[in-house]
Chain A
């Protein structure tokens, strides 16, 4: 079945630094989703990407839908302590429905004040 891989697995950065993480798949996805999960809470949708090559921003976050449709990138600029959490990429298994969404293993981000 479809699988997503995320790298790096974990990151420890200094407050104020920029962060870059990526998500890859062996098969094509038509939509890429980026979620953030704070400790002890459910994931929150950050950015949704619908078109190959699309670059979308949400505040200090920017995500891109790779041209090959097999990867996506998430960048965080000028990190702050509240950016701490686990970032998951995800994509729907089927083109026309979000009924079954595949999640990556996550990238754990720690920000050192």
Chain B
């Protein structure tokens, strides 16, 4: 149980393009999902908390207008990297938890490469 699916797994696109990443909880409902960013050989850095039916909560230093988050249903959250530039290239990972008092389960990540 507690399966989180992320799509796509790999994206390569030109600078200036907007890229959308989807995160789905397959066997449970998630009122809250989380988006992380991970640079090579580093730990996970929380970018934002996605709340179903309301605005996302962004961590300090994360640009809201750059990383648009939409959590339109109890099983789907999307992260859109707008006008992506090479410095946005990274590994983006989402997670969700079946209940408030249960650990987060992670998707397989999306490798984003901006040329």
Residues of A within 8 A of B (CB): 33, 35, 40-45, 48, 88, 96-101, 103-106, 108
Tally of contacts, chain A with chain B, CB under 8 A? 50
Bound CA span A100–B47, Å? 11
Given contacts A100-B46, A105-B42, contact A43 B106 (CB under 8 A): yes
Q: Which of B43, B49, B103, B111 has the most CB of A within 10 A?
A: B43
Distance in Å: Cβ of A92 to nearest Cβ of chain B: 8
Query: In whole angstroms, how far apart are the Cα atoms of A44 and B107 in the complex?
Result: 9
Let me know if B32 is at the binding interface, CB within 8 A. yes
- Inter-chain contact B103/A48, CB cutoff 8 Å: yes
In angstroms, Cα B105 to Cα A105, docked, is: 18
Interchain CA distance A62-B87 in the complex, whole Å = 39
Out of B6, B91, B105, name the residue touching A45 (CB < 8 Å).
B105
| Chain B positions near chain A (C-beta within 8 angstroms) | 4, 6, 32, 41-44, 46, 49, 91, 93, 95, 97, 100-109, 111
Residue of B nearest to A48 (CB): B103
19 residue pairs bridging A and B, Cβ less than 8 Å apart = A41-B109, A42-B6, A42-B95, A43-B44, A43-B93, A44-B106, A48-B103, A88-B43, A96-B101, A98-B100, A98-B101, A98-B104, A99-B32, A99-B100, A100-B49, A101-B46, A101-B104, A103-B43, A105-B42
Nearest opposing residue in chain A for B100, CB measure: A97
